[in-house]
Amino acid sequence: MDGGSMKNIEAITAVSVGIGAVILAVAYISLMPFAIIWALNTLFNLGIPFDFWSWLSAFVLLGALKVKLTN
């Protein structure tokens, strides 16, 4: 392979990693509120339903607590 091909492969790899990171971030952000609801239901037997409004309220709560993805 010549130098141009190698640079193309590196660029494609970098883009693929970036797209994968975005997909993981979206999955984390969308699934974390459900994990919070599940944990509260399991620990305290609250009976919170798994619906859009519960998800939205958990999402707002996480935002209010300023949960960070990194340290």
**Average pLDDT along the chain:** 87
Say what the pLDDT of residue 1 is.
57
Q: Band of the pLDDT at 67, cuts 50, 70, 90?
A: low
Q: Provide mean pLDDT across the span 39-48.
A: 94
Share of the chain above pLDDT 90, in %: 65
Specify whether the CB–CB gap between 46 and 40 falls below 8 A: yes
Question: What is the tens place of the pLDDT at every residue in 2-31?
Answer: 666 878 888 899 999 999 999 999 999 999
Say what the pLDDT of residue 50 is.
93
